[in-house]
Structure 1
Amino acid sequence: MKKMSVLLLPLFLLTSVFSSVHAADKALSVWLNGEQLQFGKSAPIVEKGVTLVPMRSLLEKLGVKVSWNQATRTVSGAKEGLSLSLQMGSTKATANGKTVKLDAAPKQIRNVTYVPLRFVSETTGYQVDWNPSLRQVHLTSKQQSEGSRGFLWKVENKGNTVYLLASIHHVPEGMYPLRPEIENAFQAAQYLGVEVDMSTVTPEQLQKQVLELGVYQDGTKLKDHISAETYKKATAFLKAKGMPENSFDPFKPWFATQQIMNLQVAQEGYHPEAGIDNYLIEKANKAKKPIISLETMESQMQMNNNFSDALQERLMLQNLDPKSVTPPSPDVGIDYLNQIWIEGDDQDLLEFTKPTGWDAEYYKGLVSDRNVGMAEKIKGYLNGDKKDTYMVVVGMLHMLSDQGVVSLLEKEGFTVERQ
């Protein structure tokens, strides 16, 4: 697949803003491991915040064997030791032998049986992620990638414990659950720290920031700030995606580049909704575990906006036509980044995060400056007097190298142990 350095840019959920600016309300869609499910004329519906979908179409796609008891109006399903049972009109159901209460009861509409999507999917072994702006539900298999190791460190001081987990924002199918040491560290933590907790940001807040920092306010357009050749490549990209060729016109290059990257990785079967950050944020919200943001949405957007026009155009070109520009960062693809994480080899990660091979402006803004701020926040957790336990999850780019978070903590005298 294409090599995309901008995969390292934060704010990986900005696709939702782009879509809300350019598209009218879309019909709700359901995606299974990157492929959109088709329900024919019986479209999914949402009632009181619960997504209901045609039962038979869904269960067959999930590989669930279905049985129907007309006398009790009960549907049952089984798959590889997993089982469920639902009764029409009832909010009581069974999930793998346990009785549970549903948020919405199964129902029939024009002779089609509808069932709660999240309950059925999670019971039969799938992770469920919802993108409200795109109106998309993504289902991904929960089977753990064999041998998936990742990068986890532990730091202790004054009775406080911080687990440092290197994250990757776009992951392939089958990443979850993470290895037991990571899952156990999350369970032990009283707080989850992330770059930015996007689950607390409303679409209105996000759109407001994009309009302030990602959209030209002086009446100019994208084509007025980049070369004619780069603009031509951008319009060709949009045309190939079946989108209006002027879709990027209001936006600055940094924001347009983010949208290009998100469209590219989605085509390859990677979804930001399923990234390690979001996986743990969702788990923390379900467990009512407090989430702490090390940065702010505004600071991340401002960082991108502060890049020079020349750098912003180079980043755009590296995604549109990598051979046409000197790469601002190591020219690798998302598959390679995922492989580094899965293998968990410190030397490979260290080699990738060295400043050598990076544009100096890009590395300073994206990596080293932010590392200092993150390390200061973590120092505060370690020096607190409450003897708390934290799991801090930030992009794996920020962990190693002489300017990485791990190195900065060690320079402050903390002992950082690889787990």
Structure 2
Amino acid sequence: MKKPYYFKKLFQIVLLAIFIVLLSTGTAQLEGDNFLWEISGEEGEFYLMGSLHFMPQGSYPLSDEIYNALNNSDLLAVELDLRELDQQLIQQYVQENGLFHDETRLEDVLDEDTYEKIIELTGDFGLAESQVNLFKPWYASQVISDIIFQEIGFESAEGVDLHMIQQAEEQDIKLFELETFEEQMDMISTMDIDLQVAVLKDTLADLDYQADTLVELVDKWHEGEVEPIYEFLFANREENPDIEEYYQKVFDERDSNMKEGILELLPDYDKPFVVVGSGHIINNEGLLYLFENAGFETEQL
């Protein structure tokens, strides 16, 4: 079987889950002009910036306040440095974990309407049904999401985290990765098949609306507005209990691990600059919530 184009981009695709927000953040100040927070406590202080992993061209430069904060730091911490990923490793992972290797096919685990919609969407983008039918549901949902981003002109190469990595390199600021490739991949690929199907169906809901609204959400992100992003995307967690476990795996569990990783950095670095997906910051049990509960003060800049 010919390898789909997406094998080469899988990791960027997995980073789609970038918008998730907080309706109430306790003592957090949500009145700044950037998706950037200053976090301070007895253990130390750091900057915390929410990334959009896919952005349209022309999204830069960002505000001076963001660049000044980075220049005031001696470490940039990100989820992963996408530039260092081995493309052969990604392809091998998809081959082993993203495709069915028994007699099962995608059409066997989906209802007819859902399957036909997927074949239509992926067919318009050049993928043969024989290829798509081998996809496990989790991988099919990532492919479809990537199609949405590409159709509206969003690129992983324009992502905020990559932009900040480039800025840090120019300033000779050290880079640190909070997670590993395997950790990020396994959180999705190991979901049980029923959960994978539920996430896939959720991905397919209101595709046209999602594409139109994503463009508007970038403007809201530039302005540091939290609530509109929540209203668009994270309402799904409240409305669809079938995918609650997905949010727990992709956000809640990782957010807790990220918090511990950041705490380990504070004794050794002077005000690190941390960039993670926006959802990990403003999730109901995300980094703002976790650090506030640990006695830190948070202020949006």
Q: TM-score range by the shorter chain?
A: 0.7 to 0.9
Say whether the 8 Å CA contact 1:194–1:294 is kept in structure 2.
Answer: yes
Deviation at 1:228, TM superposition (A): 3.1
Say whether the 8 Å CA contact 2:39–2:296 is kept in structure 1.
Answer: yes
Deviation at 1:151, TM superposition (A): 1.1
**Alignment partner for residue 70 of structure 2, among 181, 186, 191?**
186
Matched residue, 2:101:
217
Q: In structure 2, how many angstroms separate the alpha carbons of the residues matched to 1:235 and 1:201?
A: 30
Matched residue, 2:250:
366
Structure 1 residues 19, 401: closer, same or farther in 2, change over 3 A? closer
Q: How does 1:102-121 map to 2 (within 5 A)?
A: none
Q: How does 1:283-294 map to 2 (within 5 A)?
A: 283-294=167-178
Q: In structure 2, how many angstroms separate the alpha carbons of the residues matched to 1:219 and 1:292?
A: 42
Q: As a proportion of its length, which structure holds more strand? A: 1
Deviation at 1:393, TM superposition (A): 0.8
Say whether the 8 Å CA contact 1:166–1:393 is kept in structure 2.
Answer: yes
| TM-score, normalised by the number of residues in structure 1 | 0.58
Paired amino acid for 1:191:
L
Residue 217 of structure 1 aligns to a residue whose secondary structure is coil
| TM-score, normalised by the number of residues in structure 2 | 0.78
Deviation string, structure 1 residues 251-293 (Cα, Å, up to 9, x no partner) = 2111121111112211111112101012112333454433222
Residue 292 of structure 1 aligns to a residue whose secondary structure is strand
Q: Which has the higher contact order (CA 8 A, sep 6+)?
A: 2
Structure 1 residues 366, 337: closer, same or farther in 2, change over 3 A? farther
Deviation at 1:201, TM superposition (A): 1.0
Whether 1:246 aligns to 2:130 is yes
Residue 389 of structure 1 aligns to a residue whose secondary structure is coil
Paired amino acid for 1:301:
M
Residue 176 of structure 1 aligns to a residue whose secondary structure is coil
Whether 1:395 aligns to 2:277 is yes
Residue 238 of structure 2 aligns to a residue whose secondary structure is coil
Structure 1 residues 283, 248: closer, same or farther in 2, change over 3 A? farther
Paired amino acid for 2:69:
A
**Alignment partner for residue 338 of structure 1, among 218, 223, 238?**
218
Deviation at 1:294, TM superposition (A): 1.5
Q: In structure 1, how many angstroms separate the alpha carbons of the residues matched to 2:234 and 2:168?
A: 29
Deviation at 1:392, TM superposition (A): 0.8
Structure 1 residues 357, 398: closer, same or farther in 2, change over 3 A? farther
User: Structure 2, unaligned stretches of length 5 or more?
Assistant: 10-31
Structure 1 residues 308, 339: closer, same or farther in 2, change over 3 A? farther
Say whether the 8 Å CA contact 1:379–1:409 is kept in structure 2.
Answer: no
Residue 130 of structure 2 aligns to a residue whose secondary structure is coil
Say whether the 8 Å CA contact 1:196–1:296 is kept in structure 2.
Answer: yes
Q: How does 1:225-374 map to 2 (within 5 A)?
A: 225-322=109-206, 333-348=213-228, 353=234, 356-357=238-239, 359=241, 360-374=244-258
Say whether the 8 Å CA contact 2:41–2:295 is kept in structure 1.
Answer: no
Say whether the 8 Å CA contact 1:162–1:381 is kept in structure 2.
Answer: no
Matched residue, 2:79:
195
Across the two proteins, how many residue pairs are aligned to each other? 271
Deviation at 1:332, TM superposition (A): 8.8
- Cα root mean square deviation, aligned: 2.9
Say whether the 8 Å CA contact 2:50–2:281 is kept in structure 1.
Answer: yes
Percent identical = 30
Paired amino acid for 2:196:
Q
